[in-house]
Amino acid sequence: MSKNLIQFLLLVSLALSSSCSAVKVEYDANAIIIDGQRKIMNVASIHYPRSTEQYDFSGNLELHKVFQLVHEAGLYGIIRIGPYVCAEWNYGQKEMETFTTKIVNKVKVAKLCAPQGGPIIVAQIENEYGNIVKGYGAAGKKYIEWCAKMAVAQNISVPPMINTCNGFYCDNFKPNNPKSPKMWTENWTVWFKLWGSKDPHRTAEDIAFAVARFFQMGGVLDTYYMYHGGTKLGCTSDGLYITTSYDYDAPLDEFGI
């Protein structure tokens, strides 16, 4: 039986009990393998910076409280370590290596990864770069190679993933490596909101059918994007003409209800 996951954008440290047992995480084309047990995954996305009033890692805003709940609930976690995470968020590119390294080091020191006894089983590298890589020619390929080397150099102890699908439907997606699992890292429950436009909606029946078809066609990991979208009210907008709300018709709305 598969476990659900919570995916976080930009993770930092948490402290786990020394009684947590370490597990080995592997994969093949048909499953995520945790201590020899083959699993398919349903994932719920949450963006920490959109779920707090301040982007702050101190005091009661430390993410260890979140990960304690994740671990206590028997869930696994995925982190998106960059250098670019998209999610209608600024920044990225090579200049983010220092920040990425800092975040990963915090994760390792806090023993958050599954081989250390923590809940994190996968680290996602970059996001949707495959949509534009050809437009940059040799430079685009060089950047992807740099991302891969940077990720390996982090020595994070859990499998990295980069070749994934984002969209409303991913049943026909195939990884570029036949030995890699078919992973849907953003199953768009709807879309972000634009000023002057109607609120987007997607029926639950359409989402359910898309997920069933994805797993029927060999899918291994499906991520509901978003499970809690939150907001950046009082901070910055998400892009040109995009509202600060990131509600996404999520089960938990931007107010946490």
SS3 5: strand
CA atoms within 13 A on the CB side of 200: 17
Contact assessment for residue 14 and residue 65, using Cβ atoms and an 8 Å cutoff: yes
Q: What mean pLDDT is reported for the chain?
A: 82
Check whether 229 has a pLDDT greater than 80: yes
Please report the pLDDT score of residue 238 as a whole number.
66
The whole-angstrom separation of Cα 26 and Cα 36 is 8
State the alpha helices, DSSP H only, in the chain. Answer: 48-51, 64-72, 97-109, 137-154, 204-216
Q: Which CATH superfamily is domain 4-228 in?
A: Glycosidases (3.20.20.80)
pTM of the model: 0.86
List, by residue number, the catalytic residues: 128, 186
Residue 52: band (very low, low, confident or very high) from pLDDT cuts 50, 70, 90 = low
pLDDT tens-digit map of 69-114: 778 888 898 888 878 788 787 665 666 778 788 878 878 888 889 9
Of the candidates 153, 173, 126, 163, which has an alpha carbon nearest to the alpha carbon of residue 27? 163
Q: How confident is the model at residue 173 (pLDDT cuts 50, 70, 90)?
A: very high
